[in-house]
Structure 1
Amino acid sequence: MDGEARPMLEKVPHHRERHFTSGDVVRDVIMGVSDGLTVPFALAAGLSGARAPSSLVLTAGLAEVAAGAISMGLGGYLAAKSDADHYQRELKREQEEIISVPDTEAAEIGEILSDYGLEPHEYGPVVEGLRRNPQAWLDFMMRFELGLEKPDPKRAWQSALTIAVSYVIGGLVPLLPYMFISTAQNAMLTSVGVTLIALLFFGYIKGRFTGNRPFLSAVQTAIIGAVASAAAYGMAKAVQS
């Protein structure tokens, strides 16, 4: 039997895992670039409608990009820091419960495993094994009872930097025409085209990274960005009038 089974096992092709594991980074990039493409565009377009010179539009736009990058980066930092603080609070609480009420916590392991279709005689050894390993027990409860993953200690600063840089990159795109075209009205028309192309390209790249259909992602991103930009531009014009 072993001689027959071995060749069959040897013929099994190697399976390469292709899971995407950088969701947090992609989320930060999407947040930064999306806001960077829409908010400065709306500001520049609103000022162009007021017949401001390109130099003034560019100055105001760059100031907004700088302020927006700082604000968005700070928001990303505080959000990631809040997640880390929440994890530590729950970790401490769960650790105290494992020490003070171990039988109750062990019963919760059984309830969790039973939700996956395991019978008591099947998950019993798992429960006992975890009870003999307090750290593994704690990790199990954090992940499967509370649904919390241990955050990267560098996550807060990485999130802040990623969002801020992405915002700057996105924000410079709609402002580029104002650097080369002196008439604000003409620069605005060029900015519309450049921003739309950037949205399509960004949506395509986002689709490739997240595993979605790239062309559909490009169209969706362009439509959403265009609607957001139009809404922001309309609000700017309403305030001016």
Structure 2
Amino acid sequence: MKRADQLTPPRELTKTGEIAQRLNWLRAGVLGANDGIVSVAAVAVGVAGATTESGPILTAGMAALVGGAISMALGEYVSVSSQRDSQNSMIAAKRTELRRSPRENLAGLARAYEQKGLSPATAALVADELTEHDALGAHLSAELNLDVHDVVSPWHAAFASAIAFILGAILPLLAILLPPESIRVPITFITVLLALGITGWIGAMIGGGSRIRAAARVVLGGALALAATFAIGSLLGSSGLVG
């Protein structure tokens, strides 16, 4: 049986939530960079398969960068806005419940702490003291694992996603535009696959999964994307449809 002093304090719960949220942001940033690397590299390599001129490659690459960053930002904004609306709805509903039936909610909070391992008497005491201090925060933490201060910001999410995508997209653009024409595609393949291996490794490290397996997956997927777009570009270029 847990004692009252063994329960995680509300402040520690908030800190734990903040750490988890930061890790989620970091993982989202890694995934955003990974998307930027793959999508822009695929476009650039596909155009490079059809023409050796730098102008069309730069134009297509920049279009993919800007369009992809905006798309990522919009998608993240919509997704996180829905999550925020859901969190705000739960907070508002719990606030209304506390105002309408405080005794029933106090009993429910005590039962929640009993389920965590406290004795009925200790659970009732903890519920009473936490309710007196911050009733809404206590119920959100115990029943919904939610902190009123941890409601996500869709604008922050959209901005972070766009920046991560742009940072990832810059790498393949530099890799394909800076080297001489004769080696630009192989250099891009090598650079992109190395970068994908690093992002896959970091993502697995954050998530606690197999780093080698995760890196291998993203490298294989990136290689397939690059090979497919280069083959299509080369076919179109040799057919005379583009030039």
Same fold (TM over 0.5): yes
Superposed CA deviations along residues 199-241 of structure 1, whole A, max 9, x for unmatched, are 2344455567x3859xx63x44532222332343466456977
**Cα distance change, pair 83–115 in 1 and its aligned pair in 2 (3 A):** same
1:122 maps to 122
**Cα distance change, pair 48–145 in 1 and its aligned pair in 2 (3 A):** same
Deviation of residue 68 (structure 1)? 0.7
Contact kept? 2:78, 2:154, Cα under 8 Å = yes
1:66 maps to 66
1:187 maps to 184
2:77 maps to 77
1:89 aligns with 2:86: no
Query: Which of 222, 225, 230 is 2:215 aligned to?
Result: 222
Contact kept? 2:73, 2:158, Cα under 8 Å = yes
Q: Distance in 1 between matches of 2:151 and 2:96?
A: 23
Kindly tell me the number of residue pairs found equivalent between the two proteins.
217
Q: Distance in 2 between matches of 1:89 and 1:34?
A: 33
| Matched AA of 1:35 | D
Superposed CA deviations along residues 30-77 of structure 1, whole A, max 9, x for unmatched, are 121110111111222222333453431222011101111111122222
User: Structure 2: which 5+ residue stretches go unaligned?
Assistant: 1-15, 237-243
User: Structure 1: which 5+ residue stretches go unaligned?
Assistant: 1-18
**Cα distance change, pair 230–204 in 1 and its aligned pair in 2 (3 A):** closer
After the TM superposition, which residues 193-208 of structure 1 pair with which residues of structure 2 at under 5 Å, given as runs? Answer: 193-203=190-200
More helix by share: 2
CA RMSD in angstroms comes to 3.0
TM superposition score normalised by structure 1: 0.76
Contact kept? 1:54, 1:181, Cα under 8 Å = no
1:157 aligns with 2:155: yes
2:49 maps to 49
Q: Secondary structure at the match of 1:132?
A: helix
Contact kept? 2:73, 2:161, Cα under 8 Å = yes
1:144 maps to 142
Contact kept? 1:54, 1:187, Cα under 8 Å = no
The 10-residue stretch of structure 1 (188-197 or 96-105) with the greater mean CA deviation from structure 2: 96-105
Superposed CA deviations along residues 12-45 of structure 1, whole A, max 9, x for unmatched, are xxxxxxx882213202311211101111112222
